[in-house]
């Protein structure tokens, strides 16, 4: 086969073209996603003994694609040393070829992918947590051969069973944000039934899953949104209280007014856990409003990563700041089980054809989206 058309699954599993279509970022055009991400014809990658080549049926859009396109805060091409970058850290697909040492999966299996890669050989990988491995990387961000291409190259440990009740696009949409939120709330913040949990960006990719996890565990999600137009969405997925952040001047520093609003809604209870990923504009308020002995768990900084907060609120009230980054394979497997059982639902807002991958990332960069967006690649209709 010379070339594989989009939107089809070849009859013979394992049959490979030499080249494939991929959304490619190059150093000289880093900037806005709409110009940085362009479709090119590139070679299909070779796989190693413990790797798998997956036919990408659909891919999920994440904020790291925006960072990769911008080349900021760091150029991923500098990290990878590759001549070009194929972004994409979420996918659903069909196992197309397996390396000689792969035992758990075979060509034809329907899978979703988690995005953590590590060496698999060090003490951290084998006793502590693969997230602690010195070679730990996020596939499709810190490595190339991500999911915005007809084929993607991954480590075998990244594969998880695809929930049969989900479409390819739904299945491609949840991994990165859901597994991140799961580790943050379940393993890092040790969220308990009855906790009050303040969720920033509750209608966004991470947030809409975080509020579902709160409901499942029996915690009360206090959902923060940028406009009340998003209220029905967050109520549907489990928000107990809703705050429109546009009523508060959060950028000016820790907002006592925001804290008063939380107490008004909760009957005087501060959040046991604050779910943070916005960074500069919200972090000072997060540290202020968190309950005594509570935890601010943070995995990102959309509005800026240099944080300025009043540390007296932290030490005098004995709060914890917990950093968190994606999840290990065991956490991903446990979390994926809840999707297989129908207890957690992906919230897919829009599906785009492959040719509009850059446009979907631009919508995210401009905060003109809600929930998740997916790109259809080999699934029919592309
Ligand atoms: P997203 O879908 O864009 O959602 C983020 C939400 O944050 C938006 O919906 C927006 O909601 C809110 N927001 C944006 N600017 C804000 C501001 N200035 N103040 C308060 N709220 C603001 O993105 P996501 O997929 O949830 O990811 C969020 C962040 O986490 C990104 O920076 C991403 O890189 C990071 N992340 C890190 C990891 C990790 O493993 N470390 C994993 C996933 C994501 P409203 O406008 O409705 O408030």
pLDDT tens digits for 63-79? 999 999 999 989 999 98
302 CA → ligand 1 middle, Å: 6
- d(Cα 143, Cα 309) in Å, to the nearest integer? 33
345 CA → ligand 1 middle, Å: 19
Hey, whose CA ends up nearest to atom 32 of ligand 1? Answer: 302
What atom in ligand 1 is closest to the CA of residue 250?
19
What class does CATH assign to 177-323?
Answer: alpha beta
**From the CB of 225, is ligand 1 less than 6 Å away?**
yes
Where, residue-wise, is CATH 3.90.180.10 in the chain? 19-174+346-376
Hey, whose CA ends up nearest to atom 21 of ligand 1? Answer: 201
276 CA → ligand 1 middle, Å: 9
Residues in the chain: 382
Instruction: Tell which one of 206, 228, 251, 350 to mutate to probe ligand 1, the residue whose CB is within 8 A of the most ligand atoms.
Output: 206
Q: What are phi and psi of 78, to 5 degrees?
A: -70, -40
CA atoms within 13 A on the CB side of 51: 15
> Would you place residue 371 in the very low, low, confident or very high pLDDT band (cuts 50, 70, 90)?
confident
What atom in ligand 1 is closest to the CA of residue 326?
40
Cα-Cα-Cα-Cα dihedral sign, residues 45, 360, 156, 299:
positive
What atom in ligand 1 is closest to the CA of residue 62?
25
- d(Cα 250, Cα 32) in Å, to the nearest integer? 26
Where, residue-wise, is CATH 3.40.50.720 in the chain? 177-323
As given in the structure block, the two tokens for residue 260 are 């008063």
Rounded to 5°, the CA angle 50-75-275 comes to 80
299 CA → ligand 1 middle, Å: 10
Q: What is the pLDDT of residue 273?
A: 98
347 CA → ligand 1 middle, Å: 15
Q: What is the pLDDT of residues 302-326, one digit of tens each?
A: 999 999 999 999 999 999 999 999 9
Instruction: Tell which one of 183, 278, 368 to mutate to probe ligand 1, the residue whose CB is within 8 A of the most ligand atoms.
Output: 278
At residue 374, does pLDDT exceed 80?
yes
For 57, counting Cβ atoms within 10 Å of its Cβ (0-12 exposed, 13-18 middle, 19+ buried), the class is buried
Q: What is the pLDDT of residue 237?
A: 96
Q: What is the pLDDT of residues 1-51, one digit of tens each?
A: 778 999 999 989 999 999 999 999 999 999 999 999 999 999 999 999 999
As given in the structure block, the two tokens for residue 275 are 């779910």
- d(Cα 183, Cα 340) in Å, to the nearest integer? 18
What atom in ligand 1 is closest to the CA of residue 200?
21
Instruction: Tell which one of 87, 205, 283, 303 to mutate to probe ligand 1, the residue whose CB is within 8 A of the most ligand atoms.
Output: 205
What atom in ligand 1 is closest to the CA of residue 251?
18
**From the CB of 158, is ligand 1 less than 6 Å away?**
no
52 CA → ligand 1 middle, Å: 31
At residue 58, does pLDDT exceed 60?
yes
Please give the share of the chain, as a percent, with pLDDT higher than 90: 95
- d(Cα 228, Cα 244) in Å, to the nearest integer? 6
The number of beta carbons lying within 10 Å of the beta carbon of residue 308 is 10
What atom in ligand 1 is closest to the CA of residue 371?
2
**From the CB of 277, is ligand 1 less than 6 Å away?**
yes
DSSP output for 320-332: EEEE--S--HHHH
Strand 159-161 to 110-113 pairing:
antiparallel
Nearest CA among 205, 200, 215, 323 for reference residue 271: 200
Q: What is the pLDDT of residues 275-311, one digit of tens each?
A: 999 999 999 999 999 999 999 999 999 999 999 999 9
> Would you place residue 382 in the very low, low, confident or very high pLDDT band (cuts 50, 70, 90)?
low
**From the CB of 136, is ligand 1 less than 6 Å away?**
no
Q: Report whether 342 contacts 363 (CB < 8 A).
A: no
Strand partners, 25: 37, 85
Q: What is the pLDDT of residue 1?
A: 77
For 10, counting Cβ atoms within 10 Å of its Cβ (0-12 exposed, 13-18 middle, 19+ buried), the class is middle
For 22, counting Cβ atoms within 10 Å of its Cβ (0-12 exposed, 13-18 middle, 19+ buried), the class is buried
Task: Domain 19-174+346-376: give its CATH superfamily.
Answer: Medium-chain alcohol dehydrogenases, catalytic domain (3.90.180.10)
**From the CB of 281, is ligand 1 less than 6 Å away?**
yes
Q: What is the pLDDT of residue 369?
A: 87
- d(Cα 319, Cα 293) in Å, to the nearest integer? 4
Mean pLDDT of all residues in the chain? Answer: 96
Segment of 70-84, 233-247, 358-372 carrying the highest mean pLDDT: 233-247
As given in the structure block, the two tokens for residue 308 are 């300025």
252 CA → ligand 1 middle, Å: 19
**From the CB of 205, is ligand 1 less than 6 Å away?**
yes
Q: What is the pLDDT of residues 184-226, one digit of tens each?
A: 999 999 999 999 999 999 999 999 999 999 999 999 999 999 9
């Amino acid at each position: 086969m010379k070339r594989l058309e989009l939107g089809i699954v070849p009859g013979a599993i394992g049959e490979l073209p030499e080249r494939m279509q991929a959304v490619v970022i190059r150093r000289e055009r880093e900037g806005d996603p709409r110009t940085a991400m362009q479709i090119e014809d590139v070679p299909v990658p070779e796989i190693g003994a413990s790797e798998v080549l997956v036919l990408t049926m659909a891919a999920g859009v994440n904020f790291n694609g925006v960072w990769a396109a911008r080349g900021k805060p760091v150029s991923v091409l500098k990290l990878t040393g590759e001549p070009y970058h194929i972004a994409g850290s979420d996918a659903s697909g069909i196992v197309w070829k397996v390396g000689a040492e792969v035992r758990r999966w075979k060509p034809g299996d329907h899978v979703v992918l988690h995005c953590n890669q590590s060496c698999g050989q060090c003490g951290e990988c084998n006793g502590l947590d693969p997230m602690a491995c010195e070679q730990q990387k996020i596939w499709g961000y810190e490595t190339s051969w991500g999911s915005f291409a007809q084929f993607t190259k991954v480590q075998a440990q990244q594969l998880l069973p695809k929930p049969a009740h989900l479409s390819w696009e739904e299945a491609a949409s949840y991994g990165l944000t859901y597994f991140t939120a799961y580790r943050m709330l379940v393993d890092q913040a040790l969220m308990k039934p009855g906790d009050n949990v303040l969720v920033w960006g509750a209608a966004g990719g991470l947030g809409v899953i975080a509020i579902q996890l709160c409901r499942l565990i029996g915690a009360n999600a206090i959902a923060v949104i940028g406009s009340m137009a998003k209220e029905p969405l967050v109520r549907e997925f489990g928000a107990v209280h809703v705050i429109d952040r546009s009523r508060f001047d959060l950028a000016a520093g820790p907002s006592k007014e925001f804290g008063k609003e939380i107490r008004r809604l909760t009957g005087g209870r501060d959040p046991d856990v604050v779910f943070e990923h916005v960074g500069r504009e919200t972090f000072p308020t997060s540290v202020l409003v968190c309950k005594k002995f509570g935890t601010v768990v943070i995995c990102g900084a959309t509005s800026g990563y240099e944080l300025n907060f009043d540390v007296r609120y932290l030490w005098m009230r004995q709060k914890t700041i917990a950093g968190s980054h994606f999840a290990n394979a065991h956490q991903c497997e446990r979390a994926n089980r809840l999707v297989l059982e129908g207890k957690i639902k992906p919230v897919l807002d829009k599906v785009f054809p492959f040719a509009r991958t850059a446009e979907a990332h631009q919508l995210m960069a401009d905060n003109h989206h809600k929930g998740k967006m997916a790109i259809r690649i080999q699934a029919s209709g592309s």
